[in-house]
């Protein structure tokens, strides 16, 4: 990754959060955030679209916030747990800094997450386990999440994890995406649809 994204290896903004959009919560750097849909039509893909749009806004100088650690030249990693991401639904510029890792099961996904966190050169890592069967997710030992939490803290990486239900015991932030869209929303542009969410902040564990 150092050769592919040299600017990402420069000193990053140590602001403590990874988004500056009014439509996104501030995902804490150096910690895990878990996002779960309240119902099937919640539109988790809007969160990823918003992250990519925020990055694009920084490129064009449209953001006035100084609180973001997503810099316009930094890569954003997406670990696609069930190979469900459709890059064709985004324009090329939005995906220009997206490092897309296609996986087929939770073991592959967690292995990739471990490798990328050890690399210590990402400001934001998105782990999409939304389509992973709950039975498979519950086989993941709690120690794995604590290891990822510690690696995220060491690398100052904000890790955003999409899950079908809340299951991460050491998440610093747990969010429930409450958006509900009718079928008619399919005719609208993605940027016209705004995600809504509720969340509770959990005290960071020291162990």
Q: What is the pLDDT of residue 137?
A: 94
For residue 70, the SS3 value is coil
The 8-class DSSP code of residue 136 comes to H
Q: How far apart are CA 89 and CA 98, in angstroms?
A: 14
Q: What is the pLDDT of residue 131?
A: 92
pTM of the model: 0.75
Here the tokens at position 90 are 């985004």
Kindly report the CATH number that applies to the domain delimited by 26-196: 3.40.50.300
Domains in the chain: boundaries: 26-196
Q: What is the pLDDT of residue 40?
A: 62
For residue 201, the SS3 value is strand
Is residue 36 within 8 Å of 174, Cβ to Cβ? yes
Q: How far apart are CA 182 and CA 33, in angstroms?
A: 27
Q: What is the pLDDT of residue 56?
A: 47
Q: How far apart are CA 195 and CA 11, in angstroms?
A: 31
Q: What is the pLDDT of residue 95?
A: 87
Q: What is the pLDDT of residue 113?
A: 98
Q: What is the full per-residue pLDDT of the chain (207 aa) written as tens digits? A: 555 544 444 444 444 555 445 567 789 999 999 998 877 655 567 778 778 776 444 444 444 443 344 445 678 999 999 998 988 878 788 788 899 999 999 999 999 999 999 998 899 999 999 999 989 999 999 999 999 999 999 999 999 999 999 899 999 999 888 655 544 544 455 565 565 556 655 544 444
Q: What is the pLDDT of residue 123?
A: 92
CA distances from 60 to 5, 72, 73 (A): 19, 9, 12
Alpha helices in the chain (DSSP H): 45-59, 106-119, 134-137, 142-155
Here the tokens at position 105 are 């099961």
């Amino acid at each position: 990754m150092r050769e592919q994204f040299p600017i990402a290896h420069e000193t990053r903004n140590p602001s403590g959060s990874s988004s500056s959009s009014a439509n996104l919560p501030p995902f804490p750097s150096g910690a895990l955030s878990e996002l779960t849909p309240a119902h099937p039509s919640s539109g988790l893909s809007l969160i990823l679209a918003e992250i990519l749009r925020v990055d694009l806004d920084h490129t064009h100088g449209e953001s006035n916030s100084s609180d973001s650690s997503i810099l316009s030249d930094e890569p954003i990693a997406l670990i696609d747990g069930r190979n469900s991401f459709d890059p064709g639904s985004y324009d090329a510029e939005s995906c220009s800094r997206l490092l897309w890792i296609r996986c087929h099961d939770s073991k592959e996904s967690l292995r990739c997450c471990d490798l990328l966190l050890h690399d210590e050169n990402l400001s934001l890592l998105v782990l999409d386990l939304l389509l992973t069967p709950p039975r498979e997710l519950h086989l993941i030992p709690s120690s794995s999440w604590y290891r990822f939490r510690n690696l995220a803290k060491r690398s100052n990486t904000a890790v955003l994890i999409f899950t079908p239900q809340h299951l991460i015991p050491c998440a610093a932030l747990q969010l429930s995406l409450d958006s509900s869209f009718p079928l008619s929303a399919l005719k609208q542009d993605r940027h016209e649809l705004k995600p809504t969410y509720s969340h509770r902040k959990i005290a960071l564990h020291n162990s």
